[in-house]
Chain A
Amino acid sequence: MARAIRSNTRLDLIVLTICIVLALAARALPNTMRDPVATGIRRTFLAPLVMLQERSERGRQSLLLADFKQASIDSLSLNSMKAGSLESENDRLRKIIGLGSRLRWGFIPTEALHGRGVRDETTVILSAGSRAGVSRLSPVIAPEGLVGVVDQVDPTMSHAMLWTHPDFRVSAMSPDGTAFGIAQAHLTGSATGGYLIELRGVPFRATLKPGALIVSSGWGGVWPRGIPIGTVLEEMKTSEGWARTYLLRPAVNPADVYSVMILRRDRLAKGFDGVWQNVAQVDQATQRIIVSGDSAARAAALAEGAARRAVLDSVARSNGGVPLGVTDSAKAPAVVAPVVRRPPVDTAAARARRDSAGRDTIRRDSVRTDTIPHRPGAAR
């Protein structure tokens, strides 16, 4: 028994010695031999474990970066949420700058601070006061048009009455001066009533079409002439038989008023010719450019179509067939489908389209005669 134990112990020691010698040998291997051995073990026995370790380390990196990534995503989300408001703010500021450049002098740019709740926008606080040159009854305008009038002035701020205020009145007219009236807020108590304007006292002989622009008339000494107030929506039915009342869509929505301009009293006397007309002119010019671009594109398309038809006709004639453009059914074979010409539609849009299509450049007759040689005996 004791002998067996001694034998086993000796065997254990021998194995231990062998293992240690092998380990020392591995430790003493030169680099040129050590690397292939390690690589061989890594690529065989250890390969699945190395793969697991890589995934774990990647998972750890993901966990460590999770907060940073979440913060980045949050920042991006926040920025994207701000982007819309920044765009609209940029748009407003551009308009303000444009108005400022047209006014040139005599205005005070300021911020309108809405102090109370929704649906109660009849007054605003302006961040400019008497120190900046604001005085009582100074008009407040926005790039789109009339906003209100200053009714109280402090040294550093002022209080303005918006056009939605029940006491607000402004003398108004159509730009051509054919219709005059008094514009005031449309107070019906309905959900949208507070955001519309009534044009009262328009002479019965003067009619205004929906969409017509209404501007300030300059009478009364507070408002200069020519500031847009709104556009006509419809005529209102009232009990007054001697005058008409129109409902206007306001040029300025009081809820969207943030950056405005206060006109100084000394500027009012100099007039505002061309300040808002320029805006209309720019719009008209833009419309003209768009229309002319459409016309040019349409003319080019028609010319290309005519040229294609001419080529097809030439090919058909050279092959002994009848050109597609020929409409004489007596001479044309039945298999050739005649070109169906649509009857002219005599509408304003069609006329405008015909006018803008460039009649000079596309003439079927001229195209046909220029490109299709005349054959003796062929029907003309």
Chain B
Amino acid sequence: MNVGAAVRAIISFLIFVVLHYTLRPLLGWRAPMDFLILALLLAAVRVRPATAAVIGFVLGLISDSLAPDALGAGAIAMTVVGFGASYLKAVFFADNLVLNAFFFFLGKWVFDILYFIGEQRVHGFELLQQLLLWSPLSAAVTAAVGVLLLFIMRPLLEPTPT
């Protein structure tokens, strides 16, 4: 990845992070989209798994700071998701919108599963409801928004022809 592509990737990453803290609270949906996961996945497929794990760890820790009781849970989940996304990028991140959507959906759902289990705040039926109802819904919304943003930001995300 050359410098231009890296700069564009960083800008895209920052746009997603800003959207997470502006658009998401503005909409306030019950099953919200997760722009941090989208940012992590888009970064992870462009870097090595180790780097993706570090990005996931830092991003998770930062997001956890807003909920100190769950500090570390988001970091674990994002580390795993980032590493996994980077490791499996050859499989998933093809130039296919449906595959991308599935990639986003899976990343968000796995994150939620790891996060809620690691957070240990929700138990029993409520946890099941969260993981089997609200998390898939949130993952679906995240996937839809991710595909839409990929479509919109294609000039920024496409690799520079060499």
**Contact surface of A with B, Cβ cutoff 8 Å:** 8, 11-12, 14-16, 19-20, 22-29, 31, 34-35, 37-39, 41-42, 45-46, 49-50, 52-53, 55-57, 59-60, 63
Cross-chain pairs A/B with CB under 8 angstroms, 5 sampled: A19-B54, A28-B72, A52-B22, A55-B22, A56-B25
A12 touches B75 (CB 8 A): no
Q: Which residues of B contact A16 (CB under 8 A)?
A: 49-50, 53, 79, 83
Q: Which residues of B contact A56 (CB under 8 A)?
A: 21-26
Give CA–CA (A3, B73) in the complex, Å.
Answer: 35
User: Which 3 A-B residue pairs are closest in the complex by CB-CB distance?
Assistant: A27-B72, A26-B72, A15-B50
Give CA–CA (A45, B69) in the complex, Å.
Answer: 19
A52 touches B62 (CB 8 A): no
> Distance in Å from the Cβ of B51 to the closest Cβ of chain A?
8
Give CA–CA (A375, B13) in the complex, Å.
Answer: 102
Q: Which residues of B contact A46 (CB under 8 A)?
A: 62, 65-66
> Distance in Å from the Cβ of B92 to the closest Cβ of chain A?
17
Q: A15-B51, A23-B73, A39-B65 are in contact. List 8 more A-B contacts (CB 8 A).
A: A12-B83, A15-B50, A19-B54, A25-B72, A37-B71, A38-B66, A55-B22, A57-B25
Given known contacts A41-B62, A46-B66, A19 and B53 CB-to-CB distance under 8 angstroms = yes
Q: Which of A12, A27, A50, A63 has a CB less than 8 Å from the CB of B49? A: A12
Is B118 among interface residues, defined by CB-CB distance under 8 A?
yes
> Distance in Å from the Cβ of B145 to the closest Cβ of chain A?
16
Q: Which residues of B contact A39 (CB under 8 A)?
A: 65, 68
Is B153 among interface residues, defined by CB-CB distance under 8 A?
no
> Distance in Å from the Cβ of B46 to the closest Cβ of chain A?
15
Q: Which residues of A contact B109 (CB under 8 A)?
A: none
Q: Which residues of B contact A31 (CB under 8 A)?
A: 68
Given known contacts A19-B57, A26-B75, A12 and B50 CB-to-CB distance under 8 angstroms = yes
Give CA–CA (A52, B17) in the complex, Å.
Answer: 11
A26 touches B80 (CB 8 A): no
A41 touches B53 (CB 8 A): no
> Distance in Å from the Cβ of A67 to the closest Cβ of chain B?
15
Given known contacts A29-B71, A38-B65, A49 and B21 CB-to-CB distance under 8 angstroms = yes
Most buried by B among A16, A39, A45, A57: A16
Give CA–CA (A15, B80) in the complex, Å.
Answer: 11
Q: Which residues of A contact B69 (CB under 8 A)?
A: 34
Given known contacts A38-B68, A38-B71, A59-B26, A8 and B48 CB-to-CB distance under 8 angstroms = yes
> Distance in Å from the Cβ of B43 to the closest Cβ of chain A?
15
Give CA–CA (A14, B83) in the complex, Å.
Answer: 12
Q: Which residues of A contact B80 (CB under 8 A)?
A: 20
Give CA–CA (A20, B54) in the complex, Å.
Answer: 10
Q: Which residues of A contact B146 (CB under 8 A)?
A: none
Give CA–CA (A19, B44) in the complex, Å.
Answer: 15
A11 touches B50 (CB 8 A): yes
Q: Which of B50, B61, B76 has a CB less than 8 Å from the CB of A20? A: B76
Most buried by A among B18, B26, B50, B118: B50
Give CA–CA (A45, B56) in the complex, Å.
Answer: 15
Closest residue of B by beta carbon distance from A28? B72
Give CA–CA (A97, B42) in the complex, Å.
Answer: 81
Q: Which residues of A contact B60 (CB under 8 A)?
A: 23
Most buried by B among A8, A22, A27, A52: A27
A50 touches B73 (CB 8 A): no
1/0 contact string of B23-63 vs chain A (CB within 8 Å) = 11111100000000000000000001111011011001110
Closest residue of A by beta carbon distance from B20? A49
Q: Which of A35, A45, A55 has a CB less than 8 Å from the CB of B68? A: A35
A41 touches B26 (CB 8 A): no
Give CA–CA (A125, B158) in the complex, Å.
Answer: 82
B76 touches A24 (CB 8 A): yes
Q: Which residues of A contact B66 (CB under 8 A)?
A: 38, 42, 46, 50
Give CA–CA (A43, B48) in the complex, Å.
Answer: 30
Q: Which residues of B contact A34 (CB under 8 A)?
A: 68-69, 71
Q: Which residues of A contact B64 (CB under 8 A)?
A: 26, 38
Give CA–CA (A27, B69) in the complex, Å.
Answer: 8
